[in-house]
Amino acid sequence: MTLCSLTALTALLHSLTPALLAWRPLLDPLPIDNVWMILLLPLSVGVAIVYKTIKLNDMATLPRQAAVLSAQIIVFMLLAAAIIWVVVEVA
């Protein structure tokens, strides 16, 4: 690598540094404080689809089985949230 190409690479890195440091995922999380509970729905659907894809022998039943499992996940998350709310607020 020549000195000229090394200098050009260094200049390119210095020009990209502000853009690369604009958002640091672990240090500056996205401001989704108001909508994070909505993101649990696609998460539960994704988990259900992946789990049922691994466990089922017949993929024809995958949509129904994944829908049932994702509904179960959502119901039990709501139940757990209600129980925790009762423990924290009422007791």
pLDDT digits (tens, 9 = 90+) for 59-85: 999 999 999 999 999 999 999 999 999
pTM over 0.75, yes/no: no
CA nearest to 80, candidates 35, 32, 37, 34: 37
Number of domains in the chain: 1
d(CA 11, CA 3) in angstroms, rounded, equals 12
Q: What is the mean pLDDT of residues 30-47?
A: 88
CA dist 45 and 70 (Å) reads: 5
pLDDT higher than 60, residue 16: yes
> Would the pLDDT of 58 be above 90?
yes
Q: Which domain holds residue 59?
A: 3-90
How many Å apart are CA 39 and CA 75, to the nearest integer? 15
Cα 87 from Cα 56, distance rounded (Å)? 38
